[in-house]
Amino acid sequence: MSKNRRFDDCRRSTGTMKPAEFRYERPDSLADAIELLDDPDSDAAPLAGGQSLMPMMNFRLAQPDVLVDLNGIAELCGIAVENGHLRIGAMNRYSELASYPDLSSLAPLLAKALPHIAHSAIRNRGTIGGSLALADPAAELPAVMLALQAVIHVIGPNGRRNLAADGFFLGPFETALAQADLIESVSIPVSDSASRFGFHEVCRRHGDYAMAGAAVANAGTRPRIALFSVADRALRATGAEAVLARNPDDLDSAIAALEEIGFAGDLNGGPDAKRQWAGAVLRRAWAEATA
């Protein structure tokens, strides 16, 4: 079981508000960070924006004995267009991404999704790498990465490797990352002018975690649809994609095809409610993408 799975209990906990003792390290290079994380005698954890990890440490749902602060590592920052892809450093904050010039033409789906993440104070600290590593089933960015066919660039003790978003999210708060791995950056294809995108989520108040959400990419060509906050992880709705690739007007059949998904309830509702909400958010995201 990934240690991240413990984080799931954070929102329900009423326990202590002080973290257990830990050693704080602030390396200024990736190599030093990985060496600290790879120490077999410690249970070290990387710290990015701290918007999830710090509360979990305060509730003692996470108790790393070494905290490896990534905030001094320049190699993890920066956004650039390279070979037809937008490459985003893991430590880029949501707010930095949202204000990146031309984001809405380079990556329209990302631009649509970012304002839905929490509130501005959290968007000023939270990072794309932290969001993907945490893999909260209710988070927006894992679904956006699935819809955009993102590649997640990982670095660990044995070097670098590239992981497709499709195989990255394994379960609730569980990813394909190993203990000493770090997300270094993420690449998404730059949007072409023919691509169409849609994003919709329902939540009780703006800024709350979604009760259900849908991200649609490439409507009209090869649609990719990802759902979040309806199952144990963000996932693609491949049956619905196939229906809409054949007939973009057949939304009823696409919604019926969502039956293949293993809907899972949370604090907001049970699996049946999630099934209904998934259909509603898909309908609206698809309408936006094809308008």
Ligand X SMILES: Cc1cc2nc3c(=O)[nH]c(=O)nc-3n(C[C@H](O)[C@H](O)[C@H](O)COP(=O)(O)OP(=O)(O)OC[C@H]3O[C@@H](n4cnc5c(N)ncnc54)[C@H](O)[C@@H]3O)c2cc1C
Radius of gyration, CA atoms only, the chain: 19
Identify which of 224, 222, 218 has the alpha carbon closest to the alpha carbon of residue 238.
224
Q: Which is nearer to ligand X, 129 or 172 (CB)?
A: 129
Residue number of the CB closest to ligand X reads 130
Nearer to ligand X, 118 or 258 (CB): 118
CA distance 281 to 200: 6
Interface with ligand X by CB under 6 A: which residues? 4, 45-53, 70, 90, 117-118, 122, 126-127, 129-131, 133-134, 136, 139-141, 177, 182-183, 209
Q: Do 227 and 281 touch, CB atoms closer than 8 A?
A: yes
Alpha carbons 141 and 128: distance in angstroms, whole number: 8
Tokens at 200, concatenated? 């919709």
- Give the closest residue to 43 by CA, choosing from 61, 67, 20, 65: 65
- Calculate the CA 237 to chain-centre distance: 16
Closer to ligand X by Cβ: residue 151 or 183: 183
Question: Could you tell me which of 201, 92, 205 has the C-alpha nearest to residue 143?
Answer: 201
Q: Write down the least CB distance from residue 221 to ligand X, Å.
A: 27
Q: Take residue 211 and report the two structure tokens written for it.
A: 């009760």
Output the smallest distance, CB 18 to ligand X, in A. Answer: 17
Q: Minimum CB separation from ligand X for residue 129, in Å? A: 3
Name the minimum Å distance from CB 68 to ligand X: 8
- Closer to ligand X by Cβ: residue 44 or 289: 44
76 or 217: CB nearest ligand X = 76
Of 97 and 254, the one with the shorter C-beta distance to ligand X is 97
103: left (phi over 0), alpha (psi -120 to 50) or beta: alpha
DSSP state of 114: G
Q: How far from chain centre, in Å, is Cα 108? A: 16
Least distance (Å) between residue 239 CB and ligand X: 25
Shortest Å distance, C-beta 88 to ligand X? 11
The full length of the chain comes to 291
